[in-house]
Amino acid sequence: MYVKQVFSIWRLLKGIWHGLLAVTAYATLVFYLFSYQHWHFLSFPISIITILGTALSLLLGFRTNSAYDRWWEARKVWGEIVNDSRTLIRQSVTFIQINKSEKDETVSNITHLQIAWCYALANSLRKEPVLVYADLHLKPSEHDYVANQNNIPNAILNLIQFKFAELHEQGKIETLLYQNVDQTLQRLCDAMGKCERIKNTVFPTQYSFFVVLVIFIFTLVLPMGLVESIGRIAIPITFIISFLFLYVEWIAYVMQNPFENGPNDIPMTSLSRTIEINLLELIDAAKIPEKILPKNGVVM
């Protein structure tokens, strides 16, 4: 666990170390000019630093909360997908009324379509080849159908809907039970739409730019407010305070986009594999894959 935490922190540090080096060099320059070149006009009232730091803290708090809300909403949506996927297969097992051999084949087909939908949705959100993993669960005719569609996860969901509609028309599933299945499919479609909304809605760039600008201004005046009172100690203090603000801003930046195939993303591939294992167990499948384990402390 400790190694994973250190690895995660190192990934974040890689994104801000250029800024920290620049801030430290600037603080060193301020100290040199003030102490050895007698540029005493570089001294800045500490009260102004305090006010600016307080304002920046409030801005960063709002920024971080907004980014976390996006990440947490995405995680809740995928939690709903896990639950509704299980519900759909349980409904398939119990609601379909046909002979055992035909039922096993039908339920197995629906199960593999649902697994394919989960993998396809995860890949499409990450802008990766959509049918990776998903094609393992599709029949050739199903693969040909969805491959020609613009929105492949939606096309797979259509195949599941068509399958249940056909069963209903043939009287193999009662109308009331079919309505329950339709509600489950509607929730899955809603979850897909929520994910697409989060993915396609850009976090306001003006607000992000403003926060970074305030951090930049704060780091410019910070060593000026410290150098007269604490001398050379202003250099490490400036480094530490700047590190804290830059680190929080970087955390918000990486969390605001939970579907970018990064180490802090929603672990959609792992969740899809969990869904695959659960669904295959529900239908007593002969071959069940292993769970996806963390790689370098990261679960994808």
pLDDT truncated to tens, each residue of the chain (300 aa)? Answer: 333 444 445 555 566 777 888 888 988 998 889 888 888 877 878 888 888 888 888 989 988 999 999 999 999 999 999 999 999 999 999 999 999 899 999 999 999 999 999 999 999 999 999 999 999 999 999 999 999 999 999 999 999 999 999 999 999 999 999 999 999 999 999 999 999 999 998 887 777 788 888 888 888 888 988 888 888 898 999 899 988 888 888 888 888 889 988 878 899 999 999 999 999 999 998 899 988 777 755 566
> What is the SS3 assignment for 224?
helix
Say how far apart CA 37 and CA 33 lie, in whole Å: 5
Q: Give the CA angle between residues 186, 270, 293 to the nearest 5°.
A: 165
Q: Which amino acid belongs to residue 9?
A: I
Residues constituting the chain? 300
Say how far apart CA 198 and CA 66 lie, in whole Å: 12
The count of other CB atoms within 10 Å of the CB of residue 81 is 25
CB contact burial 229-268 (16+ within 10 A = b; e otherwise): eeeeebbebbbebbbebbbbbbbbbbbbbbbeeebbbbbb
**What are the E-state strand segments in the chain?**
none
Token pair 């056909």: residue = 166
* SS3 of the chain: helix, strand, coil, percent, to 5: 80, 0, 20
Q: What is the pTM of this model?
A: 0.85
Which tokens is 228 given?
A: 């007269």
Give the DSSP per-residue string, 42-102.
Answer: G---HHHHHHHHHHHHHHHHHHHHHHHHHHHHHHHHHHHHHHHHHHHHHHHHHH--S-HHH
CA 9 to chain centre: 17
Contact 279, 114 (CB under 8 A): yes
Residue 189: exposed, middle, or buried by beta-carbon count in 10 A (0-12, 13-18, 19+)? middle
Q: What is the CA radius of gyration of the chain?
A: 27
